A and B are shown apart, each in its own frame.
Chain A
Amino acid sequence: MGWTRKDLLTIRELEAAEILTLVDTAASLQEIAGREIKKVPALRGKTIVNLFYENSTRTRTSFEIAGKWLSADVINFSASGSSAAKGESFVDTARNIAAMSPDVVVVRHSSSGAPALLARELSCAIVNAGDGAHEHPTQALLDLLTIRERKGHFEGLSVAIVGDIAHSRVARSNIHGMKKLGMTVTVAGPPTLIPPYAQELGCKVSYRLEDAIRDVDVIMMLRLQQERMHAGLIPSLREYSRYWGLTLDRLAAHARPDVLIMHPGPVNRGVELSPEVADGPYSVILDQVAKGVAVRMAVLLLLAGGRGATEAHQ
C-alpha cells in the first residue's frame, strides 16, 4: 500500500496496511547501517527540524542519524536554551521555525496533542516523537519491526506489557498497533497504574506478573514514569520492584523459553528489570535501539521523499 499521509501523529489513526508499509520500508533500510559509507542521497536538499520540548537521548539522536543517513540537513532545537525559555509560545516558536521552510518537523512535547496542533498549523510534515502520555508512534513501529524479525510474523502472537501503563505513550501506541496486526495484548501492573480504558482497547488486564508473563511470546517491560506521576500511586520503589521486577527466577519459573524481553528505555536497572535479564539472552533491548534508526529513516523517507507532504498539501 502506498503512503499518502502528510503527518505521522498516531498509530491509532493508521490502517494495518499503512503500519506494514512503514515496517516493510524500515526493514529494507536496515541494510544501510551495515555499509561502510552510511549515506544514501534520497533526501538531499530536504530540511528536518527536531523540535524537542522534553528530554530524549535515543529518539532525538536516532531521528538525527536517520535524517543524516538519508542526506537531509537536520537541525536540533531544544526548548532549554531557546526562545521558548524567553516566554515564546509553542505555536509561535513553531511558526517561526516553519518560516524557514523545513520539510519535516519532528516534535516531542509533554502535552498530549501538541503534534496534532502543529499539524493543523503548519504545512510541512509533522512527526510525533512522543506527546505526553498519548502516543509515541515511532517507538511502537520499531518494537513491531523487532518482533517481526524475531518471530517471523504478527498474527496470533501474544504480548504482555508490564508496568506503568497509565502514563505510557509507548504502551498506548503499541496496543493500537498490535491489536490492528492481530496480536493479543495483556497489560499488567499495580491497579493504580492500569488505565480504565485498557479493556476498551481490547486488552486483557492482569494484576500479577506471574500470570501475565505465562505463555506469552513477548514481554514488554516499562519504566515507572515518575516525572508524570503524582504522589501516592505506588507505596515505594522497593515494593514495586519486589512485585513487578522481572528477575531470572521469575522468568525461568513462569515464562516460555523462547520469550522476547523488550524495553523502550531508559531502563531503571534493579527496578523493573534485573541486570541479568536486561543483559540476558532473551533481551533484545539494544536491537530495538538499532531498529529505531531504520524506522525513523522509513518515516522521514515516506513523509519527505516522493512528491513530499509539503507540496502535495499546499
Chain B
Amino acid sequence: MTARPSRLREKAEVLDTAGLDRALTRIAHEILERNGGAKDVTFVGLRTRGVTLAQRLAAKIAAIDGTSLPVGTLDITLYRDDLDMRGAPVVRATDIPFSVKDKTVVLVDDVLFTGRTIRAALDALIDLGRPKMIQLAILVDRGHRELPIRPDYIGKNLPTSRRETVAVRLTEHDGDDRVVIEEPEEA
C-alpha cells in the first residue's frame, strides 16, 4: 500500500454497481469451472474488503451450485515486510474457523498492486496448515507488481499510474458498490 495523499479527486468510474456484480458472477463461474465444482473449495478474504468480496462470491456459488462454502478472514499485519517503515502496527483478528489442510483455498482481495500483501497472505495462510492449492481472486488488477505474483481470477484489468489510487467501494463499508480511480488534487 502506498501512503495516501490527503486530498484525492475522483478521476473516473471503472465499474458501476451492475458491472461489479457481473464481474463477481463471472469469477464465481470461473471458480466452479476451474475446480470442476465446489468440492473442497474454501474462501479466505483479506481484511477488510476482501472478506466482503469473498462472502459475495460464496453467496453466488451457493445460488449457482447450491453448495455453501466456508469463508475465513485473514489479517496479514503480522506478516508485512514493511512493519519497520510504519507506525505501531494495528492488528485485527484472523478468523478461519475451518481447516485449510488439503483444501483449495481461494484467497480474495479487492485490489492487486505490488503483490506484497499477497506475499504476506501466502505466508500467513501456510502457517495455518498446508492447503492442497491456493488460488487468487482479485476484483481489480492495477499492475505495478514488485513480486512474481499472478491472479487466477480477475474482475477487471486496469492500467494505472503509480500516483493514482484505486478505490473499491462496497455497500457494506462505503454505502454504494463501485470502483473508481482517484488522483491527488493539484495544488
Contacts and interface: CB of A to CB of B under 8 A. Distances in A.
Interface of A: 2-4, 25, 27-31, 35-37, 39-42, 70, 298, 301-303, 305-308, 311
B94 A42 contact: no
Interface in B85-127: 85-95, 123-124, 127
A53 to B, nearest CB: 28
Interface residues of B, number: 22
Contacts of A36: 128-129
Contacts of A303: 88
Interface centre among B77, B91, B92, B129 (most CB of A within 10 A): B91
B75 interface: yes
B127 A27 contact: no
Given A27-B93, A28-B75, A305-B83, A2 B88 contact: yes
A2 B128 contact: no
Interface centre among B78, B124, B127 (most CB of A within 10 A): B78
* Majority SS at the chain A contact face: loop
A305 B88 contact: yes
B84 A40 contact: no
Nearest to A301: B89
Contact of A28 (B79, B86, B91): B91
A42 B89 contact: yes
Contacts of A4: 87-88
B94 A306 contact: no
B78 A42 contact: yes
Nearest to A38: B127
Nearest to B90: A2
A307 B93 contact: no
28 contacts: A2-B88, A3-B88, A4-B88, A25-B91, A28-B91, A29-B91, A30-B93, A31-B94, A36-B129, A37-B127, A39-B127, A40-B124, A41-B78, A41-B123, A42-B78, A42-B79, A42-B89, A298-B91, A301-B89, A301-B91, A302-B88, A302-B89, A305-B83, A305-B88, A305-B89, A306-B87, A307-B84, A307-B85
